[in-house]
Homo-oligomer: A and B are copies of this chain.
Amino acid sequence: MNNDTNEVRREQPGVAEAAAGPDWKPVSRSSTYELVIDAVEEQIMTGSLGVGDPLPAERDLATKLGVSRASVREALRVLDSLGVVRSSGGSGRGAGTFIAAMPSAALTRFLRLHVALTNFSIDDVTETRIQLERSSAILAATRADKDALAEVNAQLAMMDTPGISLETFNDADTAFHVAIAQAAGNQLFSDLTGAIRTSLRKSIFSSFSRVDDQQALMAKLQSQHHGIMDAITTGRAEEAAALTEEHIRFAASRLPGLSDT
């Protein structure tokens, strides 16, 4: 951990250079695999490729683009890790690489790594979660989609199971919050909410194990869950938001090491 002279922190995205003078363009010098990504991305941007569509076989794509298969694979791996592409071996129908749409895992890994690198503090992440979930609660209370709320209730019931294990409780807890976001009808809310919870899963879990009376804490959290759900079901949007914020702040304050303060 020798935080030495390497200046590798904090590029700003899309920020115009405030300085005047001859603004030299950075002359990107993209690497080969970046060019392959760009080629695929362009097809996506222009609508030539959509979810479910197949990409050419790696060997074909390499030939078409005039690069080696290794470079194509590096590009596809990146797109795969972003949840944009899915590959499977074999032959015939279903074999090959396809455009996919699985952003959750990618978001989760991204957050998990950058939180571990202390790029994003846990407080920052928690604050983001609060804002998202406040909004989710309001939207969920307003729209009141019955099917979506049923899923929330299912998770609530799961957590009501007597003698439930900490792990099961925690997973149902995550699912509960994600289900509310889902009920709000905003996919980005829901994916971000899930990613934040999942990326903190280990920390939450180990933090929970250090709590004195785990059953009491779980009971308290669960009673808050019921309060939130009541407010959502009866359409008290602002109250649902307030209870959600209170709930998250309460949990953060009770789990040692999860909060910087």
Contacts and interface: CB of A to CB of B under 8 A. Distances in A.
Interface residues of A, number: 89
Interface SS majority for chain A: helix
Given A101-B114, A108-B13, A158-B16, A188 B6 contact: no
A23 to B, nearest CB: 11
A216 interface: no
Nearest to A9: B101
Interface string A158-191: 1000000000100110110010000000111101
B120 A188 contact: yes
11 contacts: A1-B53, A6-B94, A8-B102, A11-B105, A12-B175, A50-B118, A73-B74, A82-B113, A99-B117, A106-B110, A124-B189
Interface of A: 1-4, 6, 8-16, 18, 33, 41, 44-45, 47-53, 70, 73-74, 77-79, 81-84, 86, 94, 98-110, 112-114, 116-121, 124-125, 127-128, 131-132, 134-135, 154-155, 158, 168, 171-172, 174-175, 178, 186-189, 191-192, 194-195, 197-198, 201-202
